[in-house]
Structure 1
């Protein structure tokens, strides 16, 4: 009986306690809420590589709170549905509220995440964007420069924007300080881009500019001496031939009907020997039997040498030009002068070559037609031509543009006269002149160097061959010493 009484009493006390009204005075604090949203620009963007991407998300917080307690992170991850593994590395773009940063990502599609974290509550909110990064290298001028003790490439895009140090930005390392030539095999699809220094040659992606091949990848058996000078192509229909010059020696590779890899073989011999040395230029003909496939200037014998060979043969032959007839302007096999410049004229298969003999400059025109090779030889009535620093032939008129110091001249072949068409600032000497058919026959790019900084100038040429309004249309500053330029079209 006693135990039952005790249990009943305890139960009544519990019930009574449950009916007691708590008269305490408590203050409840609400958790700060953060809401983020897309602004009017939306959530899908397209940006050129190395251009600045700007995104400003909308952030809404509950009353009384401040953005000072928030921390931010913008990150990007590659989107590649074709990849078996979807585990791509995450790249942090910024830790700021608004994204305002140069995009150094390789051209591709990316998922970009914006994360806003309340440092008091630890709660994070997210926005998700898609960003298409397109190539800044799809089209533009490539400027190979020596800058700050290293080599690099600057790019002038087709829209006129200058991108400095493009190679080192993409690859994380610079080029050697003794860079000397940039070249583009524009006849191939996709195009190939080559960069040469004194003892190294590399190929970079025409889309991302990332390094993809080196000198050794071009040969079945790489030459013992690596001094790359030229890597180019001759293309006609389905007959393709690669031509390389390394340490003055010619190598070829043939495309069409052969299984890969298609690489360069050993150097071609001249008269059964490899003692010749070609200048770093290729005069391109074609596979027509009446033309030389290509021609070179051989610097030890000071003569032109031709390249012949069957269209689909693996071999090629370096041959001497035929003895000239009485009407020939000169003997291509016995020029006897030093080469200053050699390049294409406005006429197919006709090439201009500026030579030096003593203190005089001579113009020779070489026709790649086997039967009519020596077209013209004349002593140039052109001030400073024997000491020119750069030259390029007009692609619309019978002119040659050349520079001497800080002066730009236009040499007219027919009347054999030269005129000063532009003068740069004192001490600002011209380093390169380029008219590239991939760009326009009416655009001339000139680069200069004053001993400490380099500039690039774009000229538009009028119907008389002179710069429109006697001046440049655009100037780019802050370059290194530009040693070579080429235009890369899409």
Structure 2
């Protein structure tokens, strides 16, 4: 930051000295008299117009133009080339530049002598995108985001920033991906949102909303079948993973997605479930082997069991829901359904040691059976709770809570008639960690009815129960499938 201030000061000094004088007269030209300029301006990109109407004495004697310099110039990287904003005395510029610190220059050129006098103002361009709620939705076969901040909202955020272009197909997933880079050694990482629809996928910068890559250019070798199914950000932030048509792809940030092996150690990995979750490593379900495995770095690892019959291997069931609680808790909950609709809930130790088999057979903390008649086995959407072994779920428009210790469902409330639950999440910000104070703690429910969504934010009580709300917190057009809270450009994980 200190370096930017020094560079800015240097630029201002240079500009202050920059007077072009082609006059051969020995008589000094009277100074240009200008009023109505501010020393600084603060505007929002993609929201505001930068409007300046200076008053110039004898204004017909001059020509005018406005330029904008980026003050974040790196030394020894060539000349600072400004953008020309207008060729008129009055400026009415729609702000579309990236957020940052700039120098606005009003250039006044004497028609007779050619002398140009410059008047400088610092200009801070900010973005609204860094703080608020992002709602992943689909509407009429298109996927987009609604963004809601303290004083307003941007509906169809993707379309708004990208020439009215949303993603084709219904929504699949939204993922916060920090620290993306243009090259592996780039010194200017930026935070992004990865958005998947059933037919497409793209990565968008959070600060300016622009797309930086899509399905056509995010792979070293583009998959022959376009079927995005999921994406996940490990706790090791230098990598990110993508799932397409039952296969996984690995990216080291600053590069592209690379194919992971289809076979390793005699095991086939071409039919992977999109249901997964993150703890110390990513937990995934191999539909071919009916087993849980992990990905660490760019490598597959099978869970190790010496006793207990390989309780997460060769399981005659399908993974229906998974919730990982990294950092402080270090556990995951996995819900399976067998062919007879009996459920199995596993509580898994999500730390590196147990996942790698150290100590032996320590990965499964508990396993419980859920009878087919239990309301959980008829749930539409399921939600975990980061802090305790509690599951929330919907059956129709009824909302239940279940403590894993008792498995007794407790009806919390009934939503208005006709409202279908489309998303159910526990959102905590920041992601819980030692010494971190959470500023947000909500059980969030999204519903859909008659082409519109409603978002209800429920504060869990001291016993983790949630209460009905008379009115939704947000409403809009379309069907919301995921909710994310963002603060200072950092997004939440969902539990």
* 1:80 corresponds to which of 58, 64, 70: 70
Deviations 1:196-229 (A, max 9, x none): 1223221111211100012354433333223233
1:284 aligns with 2:278: yes
**In the superposition, relative to structure 1, how do residues 452 and 199 fare at CA in structure 2: closer, same or farther (>3 Å)?**
closer
Aligned counterparts of 2:268 and 2:173: Cα–Cα separation in 1: 24
What are the superposed Cα offsets for residues 153-183 of structure 1, whole Å, 9 maximum, x if unpaired? 11123x3643211111111112213231110
**Runs of 5+ in structure 2 lacking a partner?**
1-32, 56-64, 107-118, 181-188, 431-437, 490-495
Cα deviations by residue, 1:28-61 (Å, 9 ceiling, x for unpaired): xxxxxxx99759xx674434445567979799xx
The partner residue of 2:334 within 328, 348, 353 is 353
Provide the TM-score with structure 1 as the length reference.
0.69
| CA distance in 2: counterparts of 1:424 and 1:36, whole angstroms | 63
The alignment partner of 2:160 has SS state of: helix
Q: CA deviation at 1:399?
A: 0.9
Q: How does 1:300-379 map to 2 (within 5 A)?
A: 300-307=288-295, 316-319=299-302, 321-322=304-305, 324-325=307-308, 331-345=311-325, 348-357=329-338, 358-368=340-350, 369=354, 370=357, 371-374=361-364, 375-379=366-370
**Any conservation in 2 of the 1:446–1:456 contact (CA below 8 Å)?**
yes
* Cα drift, residue 251 of structure 1: 3.1
Deviations 1:254-302 (A, max 9, x none): 58xxxx747524434245464642222443344xxxxxx4321123443
Greater C-alpha Rg: 1
Match for residue 299 of structure 1?
287
**Quick one: structure 1 residues 78 and 418, their matched pair in 2 at CA, closer, same or farther if it must change by over 3 Å?**
farther
Question: Does the Cα contact within 8 Å between 1:380 and 1:416 map onto a contact in 2?
Answer: no
Name which of structure 1's ranges 346-355 and 408-417 shifts more when overlaid on structure 2.
346-355
Give the equivalent residue in structure 1 for 2:5: none
Q: Is the 8 A contact 1:76 1:110 kept in 2?
A: no
Partner of 2:482: 484
Deviation at 1:184, TM superposition (A): 0.9
TM-score (norm 2): 0.68
Aligned CA distance change for structure 1 residues 457 and 160 (closer, same or farther; 3 Å)? farther
Shift of 1:186: 4.7
272 and 106 in structure 1: CA distance in 2 versus 1, 3 angstrom threshold: same
The 5-angstrom pairing of residues 22-37 of structure 1 reads none
Query: Paired residue for 2:131?
Result: 139
- 1:458/1:472 contact within 8 Å kept: no
Residues 184-195 of structure 1 aligned to structure 2 (within 5 Å): 184-186=176-178, 190-195=190-195
Aligned-partner Cα distance in 1 for 2:123–2:198: 40
What CA RMSD, in Å, does the superposition of the two structures yield over aligned residues?
A: 4.1
- Local SS of the residue matching 1:168: helix
- Structure 1 distance, partners of 2:369, 2:463, is 23
Give per-residue Cα distances to partners, 1:421-461, cap 9 Å, x unaligned.
23322111111122234455621222111031112222222
Change (3 A) 1:390 1:55: farther
8 Å CA contact retained: 1:145, 1:151: yes
> Which residue in the other structure is 2:160 paired with?
169
Moved more, 262-271 or 165-174: 262-271
Shift of 1:473: 8.2
Do 2:427 and 2:441's aligned partners in 1 also have CA atoms closer than 8 Å? no
CA separation of 1:272 and 1:429: change in aligned 2, threshold 3 A: same
Task: Give the Cα separation in 1 of the matches to 2:378 and 2:460.
Answer: 24
Q: 1:320 to 1:199 in 2, by over 3 A?
A: farther
- Residue 386 of structure 2 is matched in structure 1 by 395
Where does residue 452 of structure 2 map in the other structure?
Answer: 453
| Gap runs ≥5 in structure 1 | 1-34, 60-74, 115-126, 287-292
* Distance change >3 Å, CA 444–CA 285, structure 1 → 2: closer
